[in-house]
Amino acid sequence: MKFLVLGATGTTGTLFVERATAAGHEVVAFVRDASKLAPGDRLTVVEGDVRDAHALAQAMRGTDTVVSTLGLGKVKDPGNLIADSTRALVRAAEETGTKRVLIMSAFGVGESLAKASAFARFLYNSGGKATFADKIAGERILTASGLDWTLAYPVLLTDKPATGDVRAVDLTALDRLPGLPRISRADVAAFLLAAAVEGSWSRRTAVLTTGR
């Protein structure tokens, strides 16, 4: 397969690119600063603004699937980055005919907040309201489109190695997620690649945890 990856220089994005190229897939990394990522045999690096639908469409042509691990990171003025970039992504996908889009969001966004433990809800409400509101707006744009989307809601992220024990639960089937569970970014990258290749989790939201 050939992927267009947004957020490819972030921690999870880097892991996805490494895993995808190692498995023989091609990746086009659409990045803000091309100097942060060196091209390789299966990796093409394109510099641009994720809010620019025309630039996204140019990079998207010839790809099968879009994977976004885009986060706010060290962006000085994020504004409505997720909502604006998702709007541009949808326009670009509609222009190019690309249907499959997988986006890494976060547990605690939207309807998932009510399914978190009291302690987790306290943490989400105390530190990430603006970020989560931006993600909610972007996800509404995505889910209202005709694209074949998948949303991944990982719990608290760690930098530990992959466990290979990812537990994906449909958000609509989840009653409550106790405590403050964690999952490695490597496991999230593995889920995104598997879901893309297998075509699974179409138009569904997967809450991602791990048994370890």
CA distance 54 to 44: 18
Give pLDDT tens digits for 40-75. 999 999 999 999 999 999 999 999 999 999 986 555
For the chain, give the mean pLDDT. Answer: 93
- CATH number of the domain encompassing residue 119: 3.40.50.720
Mean pLDDT of 6-32: 97
CA distance 206 to 212: 18
Count of domains observed in the chain: 1
Which pLDDT score is estimated for 94? 96
CA distance 121 to 137: 19
Note whether 125 and 178 are within 8 A (CB).
no
Give pLDDT tens digits for 81-101. 999 999 999 999 999 999 999
Residues 6+ apart with CB under 8 A from 90: 141, 142, 145, 147
Q: Which domain does 76 fall in, by range? A: 2-210
Which pLDDT score is estimated for 127? 63
Residue-wise DSSP of 134-178 = HHHHHHHHHHTSSSEEEEEEE-EEE-PPP-S-EEEEEGGG---B-
Specify the pTM: 0.94
Given pLDDT bands bounded at 50, 70 and 90, which one contains residue 126? confident
